[in-house]
Chain A
Amino acid sequence: MSNYIAEFETLFRDVLENDDIVLTNETTAHDIDEWDSINHIYLVVEIEKHFEIKFSSSEILQWQNVGEMIDSVKAKKDN
């Protein structure tokens, strides 16, 4: 799990162009200024590319925080 968080953190810092970002499972878009609706799409694209997976649209729309995003990745990678 902690591994995923670290990888997510790198991706977030890269896409949102802010090296101070620190993620926890509970982090939401409210906590990070740069994480807005347009950047959210870029994040999704980068995560899919990085982990070589594809999310379904409804999956993406249900995420409430970083933890749920990581759960989605884990479910795809660990199976």
Chain B
Amino acid sequence: MILSKPKKTTKMLFNSFEFFIFLPIVFVLYWFVLNKNLSIQNILLLVASYVFYGWWDIRFLSLIMLSTILDYYVGIRIHGTEEPKKRKHWLWLSMGFNLGLLCFFKYFNFFIDSWITAFNSIGIEMDPFALNIILPVGISFYTFQTMSYSLDINKRRLEPTKDFVAFATFVAFFPQLVAGPIERASNLLPQFLKRRKFDYNLAADGLRQMLWGLFKKIIIADNCAPYVNDIFANYETQSSGTLILGVIVFAFQIYADFSGYTDIAIGTARLFGFDFKRNFNFPYFSRNISEFWKKWHISLSSWLNDYLFTPLAIEFRNYKKHGIFAALFLTFLISGLWHGAGWTFIIWGGLHGLYYIPVIYSKKRFTSISTNKKTSKKEEYSLSDLPKIILTFLMVCLTYIFFRAASVADAFGYIKIIFTEIPLWPSGVPYKSLFFIVIVMVTEWFQRGKEHGLQFNEDSKVPAYLRWTIYILLLLIILIFSGQQQEFIYFQF
């Protein structure tokens, strides 16, 4: 089953025609046909989620089901015993299974390849026999979600649910199944257990957030992709200036791609009366690296903070700052490995870890990797922070070269050209994409106190006709300037 060739992917992308049909059907059934009974509503969401996933590959649905059944059962067993030893055994069963799944599907080839290279380099010849293992989409996301459930129960922060359907839907809920946000049971599970009421304002805001996400994905990410792909594929022949622009455009591509995806996911959930945790908080306006990690892919960084960094740092606490740095550096290496089985991702993570050295060893200790702090306090940054914002952005861009390059050697080659040649004006500047990037960034700058770029408060002073003009304009731009449909980058992780 696993060894067959990857077939042509037909994922039901958020930006696909299939989803455009699928979503209204589920929406109507959910609110207007099956709205009398909570359990039936949940069953509908579960079936819809499995159809959504099965559209891509029905075989791998079995993995989600296995992981769901196991953690549902493990949760009840951990809660049911006070014996520390038994609790530990059950917890390890969950960790072992989920991490085993992840390791097999995601890292098997990487380790085999690395071993062969290592043996070859010391003169022992080995035949490469790496298997062609397909990466089941979403596996990195749902395994993390189910693991956090068992971990929280073990730490007595959560009581297990006895509603299997609710739990299964929590794991597989289609808006966040394939690329997050990685929801916590403490936030999302209770929402499946109580009646949802249709809230027009919430749904309308969900639609606005989806529109903003689609705009970022289709207009920026999909239009930047061919330009960036070309530069990274042929970097040897490019000038220093072009390479600098290439990685900057990639920074906006990946932001538009992933935050666009997230906006659509959160917006979709709102249509069904669910409230996901925030996943992006305008990260490119960060003034230092720790702020960046509190604003970028928050659901992953807070997961790593709670289940990896904090336990490690507590374990290492007698080594003071060195212990904290070691815990943090390890966390970032693993974050790199989470993104992809390859040395480029590990170096990407390592660089981010090294960026924290001044933060940890300077006198002022002001920061964490990420916290779920409420952002009720008005964001205080202003244009005078621009130098810090740009510096942080450029530091992040440097790491992106490793993130995006095909190999470590390519990344170093890319960097070498940037730093050894005099940067000339780049060739083939994608002015159209840059124009839309500026539009999005300026909009988000003014909206930085809000949850997404297109949010209007209920008491908003923007008149209705102006708002509708903006929506229609965005839709028209999407129809006219859409790039060739690209898969979401984070689907591969």
Contacts and interface: CB of A to CB of B under 8 A. Distances in A.
Interface string B349-377: 00000000000100011111111111001
Q: Ordered nearest first, which 3 A-B pairs have the shortest CB separation?
A: A36-B368, A37-B368, A41-B313
Interface residues of B, number: 29
B317 A61 contact: no
B373 A33 contact: yes
A2 interface: no
A57 B374 contact: no
Contact of A41 (B317, B364, B366): B317
17 contacts: A36-B371, A37-B313, A37-B368, A38-B328, A39-B365, A40-B310, A41-B313, A41-B314, A41-B317, A41-B323, A42-B365, A44-B314, A45-B317, A45-B320, A57-B311, A61-B311, A64-B157
Given A30-B374, A38-B360, A61 B314 contact: yes
Interface of A: 17, 29-30, 33-34, 36-42, 44-45, 57-58, 60-62, 64
B155 interface: yes
Interface of B: 155-157, 305, 309-311, 313-315, 317-318, 320, 323-324, 328, 360, 364-374, 377
Contacts of B373: 30, 33, 36
A15 to B, nearest CB: 8
Given A30-B373, A62-B156, A64-B157, A38 B315 contact: no
Contacts of B323: 41
A37 B309 contact: yes
A22 B32 CA distance: 50
Contacts of B369: 37-38
B91 to A, nearest CB: 11
Contacts of B370: 37
A36 B302 CA distance: 11
A60 to B, nearest CB: 5
A14 B445 CA distance: 36
Nearest to A61: B155
Nearest to B316: A41
B270 to A, nearest CB: 24
A55 B339 CA distance: 34
B324 to A, nearest CB: 6
Contacts of A64: 157
B188 to A, nearest CB: 19
